[in-house]
């Protein structure tokens, strides 16, 4: 990475809802335009945009750095009481160095929402210490813990806070974050952080706390803040980001802002070099389905599918007096589908879906007939995952699972809303709560 460029390590995307205004696609385009080799995503208390950000950056040859602006409570994350200084929590910029760091950051954020939520999703230093491996921390904006103490003229406590983070993360993984937005408190904080850097041998790093893309986006972003805080644009006491310096600045602008400390800008490149996260999208992470008699997943899937086919054909015969196609056609289609499923490694997937649908039916929980491309699968029909005979209606299996373009099968299943929770509870108890998750829907500002 060239020494005259810069990497933004403190940046809010559209997933800092009603606060960040950097749309991911436009952000990556701008990063390319500015000739920057990498960029970080550090949204408020979440990594909701992580996959979209990671993939968009990779597509354009930009190194994605996944991170978060975490909320650190001064006491225990289990406490529900406001504190005099720092409100409900301090800010801390966390970056994942590698996959271990990404996993630890994910665990911290889950803990923040499950255990620590109080106005904000909060962690504490105990949780951070448990999941510090693979993480780099920057000291944060003016709401960072050392900065809060500095603004209250408590230099001793500021130094103690810095020392505590260095002990938790390791001395090589903690940096003092300096910003230059033209704010008077920032000047005071930067002066003391620079002194700490010399006295305590803690490296400085320059960031810009980017909330919008270009300088001209300041007013639309200001209106966005009004929506987020429920304030009138004319309210003189409302939250503002002034001066209007919170955009994705060029390397030249950053080096100019920190002309006396160019090493703080160059250090962004050093940190970017240390962050090398590779996400394993090509690996299957399915819970293990336990088969009887030590049968393989492939053999057991074929066994239950053959039993299901016999039952389906018998039902055709009893209800209509005939079956739509010769049994040999059904067998040929079945073997073709099973071979593709085996080759793709999805036998366990089908058995898991069959298992919880069978449980629901056994408990008298209404289950829908199946929707979408899964209706093109004879295996799904034989397992009673769907209730539509794909041969009778000339439905294509390849629309559901194509060996030339392998993606995880997507089976849409409807359960009666009155007892849907019972199905989720069954799956959670059988396969373990760590293997079950509900899919979230994100709202972002499109207009």
The C-alpha atoms of residue 12 and residue 37 are separated, in whole angstroms, by 18
* Pairing mode, strands 90-96 and 135-138: antiparallel
pLDDT at position 438 is 86
Give the three-class secondary structure for 43. strand
The C-alpha atoms of residue 155 and residue 372 are separated, in whole angstroms, by 62
Exposure of 258 by Cβ count < 10 A (0-12 exposed, 13-18 middle, 19+ buried)? Answer: buried
pTM for the full predicted model: 0.88
The C-alpha atoms of residue 342 and residue 89 are separated, in whole angstroms, by 50
Helix axes 24-33, 50-59, angle to 10 degrees: 30
69 contacts 43 by C-beta, under 8 angstroms? yes
The C-alpha atoms of residue 133 and residue 144 are separated, in whole angstroms, by 21
pLDDT at position 86 is 46
- Which residue bears the tokens 């492939």? 298
CA angle 170, 176, 180 (to 5 degrees): 160
The C-alpha atoms of residue 162 and residue 196 are separated, in whole angstroms, by 9
Residue 333 backbone dihedrals phi, psi, to 5 degrees: -65, -40
65 contacts 102 by C-beta, under 8 angstroms? no
Q: How far is CA 159 from the centre of its chain?
A: 33
**pLDDT 10s per residue in the chain (447 long)?**
555 899 999 999 999 988 999 999 999 999 999 999 999 999 999 999 999 999 999 999 999 999 999 999 999 999 987 654 445 699 999 999 999 999 999 999 999 999 999 989 999 999 999 999 999 999 999 999 999 999 999 999 999 999 999 999 999 999 999 999 999 999 999 999 999 999 999 999 999 999 999 999 999 999 989 988 899 999 988 988 888 899 999 999 999 999 999 999 999 999 999 999 999 888 878 888 999 999 999 999 999 999 999 999 999 999 988 999 999 999 999 999 999 999 989 999 999 999 999 999 999 999 999 889 999 999 999 999 999 999 999 999 999 998 887 788 889 999 999 999 999 999 999 999 888 988 888 877 776
Provide the residue ranges of all domains of the chain, joining segments of one domain with +.
Answer: 24-274, 297-431
CATH fold, domain 24-274, is TIM Barrel (3.20.20)
């Amino acid at each position: 990475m060239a020494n005259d460029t810069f990497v933004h390590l403190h940046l809010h995307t559209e997933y800092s809802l009603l606060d960040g205004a950097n749309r991911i696609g436009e952000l990556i385009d701008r990063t390319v335009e500015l000739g920057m080799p990498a960029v970080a995503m550090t949204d408020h208390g979440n990594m909701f945009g992580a996959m979209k950000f990671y993939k968009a950056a990779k597509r354009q040859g930009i190194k994605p750095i996944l991170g978060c602006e975490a909320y650190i409570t001064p006491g225990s994350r289990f406490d529900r009481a406001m504190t005099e200084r720092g409100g409900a929590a301090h800010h801390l910029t966390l970056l994942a160095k590698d996959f271990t760091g990404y996993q630890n950051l994910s665990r911290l954020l889950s803990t923040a929402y499950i255990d620590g939520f109080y106005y904000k999703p909060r962690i504490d230093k105990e949780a951070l210490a448990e999941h510090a491996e693979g993480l780099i921390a920057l000291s944060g904006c003016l709401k960072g813990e050392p900065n809060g103490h500095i603004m209250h003229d408590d230099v001793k406590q500021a130094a103690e806070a810095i020392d505590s983070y260095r002990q938790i993360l390791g001395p090589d993984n903690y940096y003092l974050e300096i910003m230059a937005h033209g704010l008077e408190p920032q000047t005071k904080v930067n002066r003391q952080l620079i002194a700490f850097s010399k006295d305590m041998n803690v490296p400085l790093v320059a960031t810009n706390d980017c909330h919008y893309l270009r300088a001209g986006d300041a007013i639309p972003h200001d209106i966005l803040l009004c929506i987020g805080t429920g304030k009138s644009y004319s309210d003189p006491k409302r939250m503002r980001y002034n001066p209007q310096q919170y955009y994705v600045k060029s390397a030249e602008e950053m080096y100019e802002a920190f002309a006396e400390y160019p090493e703080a800008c160059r250090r962004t490149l050093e940190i970017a070099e240390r962050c090398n996260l590779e996400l394993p999208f090509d690996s299957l992470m399915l819970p293990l389905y336990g088969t009887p008699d030590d049968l393989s997943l492939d053999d057991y899937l074929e066994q239950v599918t053959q039993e299901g086919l016999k039952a389906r054909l018998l039902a055709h015969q009893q209800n209509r007096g005939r079956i739509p196609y010769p049994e040999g056609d059904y067998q040929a289609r079945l073997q073709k589908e099973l071979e593709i499923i085996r080759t793709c490694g999805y036998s366990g997937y089908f058995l898991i879906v069959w298992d919880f649908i069978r449980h629901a039916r056994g408990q008298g929980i209404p289950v829908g007939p199946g929707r979408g491309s899964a209706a093109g699968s004879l295996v799904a029909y034989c397992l009673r995952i769907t209730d539509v005979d794909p041969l009778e209606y000339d439905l294509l299996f390849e629309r559901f699972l194509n060996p030339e373009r392998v993606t995880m099968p997507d089976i849409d299943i409807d359960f009666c809303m009155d007892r849907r929770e019972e199905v989720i509870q069954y799956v959670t108890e059988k396969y373990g709560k760590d293997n079950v998750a509900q899919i979230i829907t994100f709202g972002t500002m499109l207009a």
